[in-house]
Amino acid sequence: MQDIADQQELAEEISTAISKPVGFGEEFDEDELMAELEELEQEELDKNLLEIGEPESVPLPNVPSIALPSKPTKKKEEEDDDMKELENWAGTI
């Protein structure tokens, strides 16, 4: 007799579970879902940024090991003379 009562109880539980709509009519807050999605995306981005390894070694060009010649100053003197001549000309006009 107990077995029959247990079977009826189990059948009633199954019937109740089947007759309940699951997920229908539930309202979802779009803003809350978007906020959660943004939070998950930010966590993923943070994780990816923290996993960045060492920078790759980039071959650099060789630099001269000898001293470079100094810049000649004659051109500067020529420019100074030209400027003085131009100033004199502008002053006579």
Is 44 or 77 the better-scoring residue by pLDDT?
A: 44
| Interval 39-71: pLDDT, tens | 999 999 999 888 877 777 888 888 878 887 777
Percent of the chain with pLDDT over 70: 85
Average pLDDT over residues 75-82: 74
Residue 76 has pLDDT above 70, yes or no: no
User: Which two tokens mark 19?
Assistant: 């007759």
pLDDT of residue 49: 86
User: Which two tokens mark 91?
Assistant: 């002053």
pLDDT of residue 9: 92
This prediction has a pTM of 0.32
Average pLDDT over residues 15-43: 84
pLDDT of residue 89: 87
Cα-Cα-Cα-Cα dihedral sign, residues 48, 54, 55, 58? negative
Around Cβ 52, how many Cβ atoms within 10 Å? 7
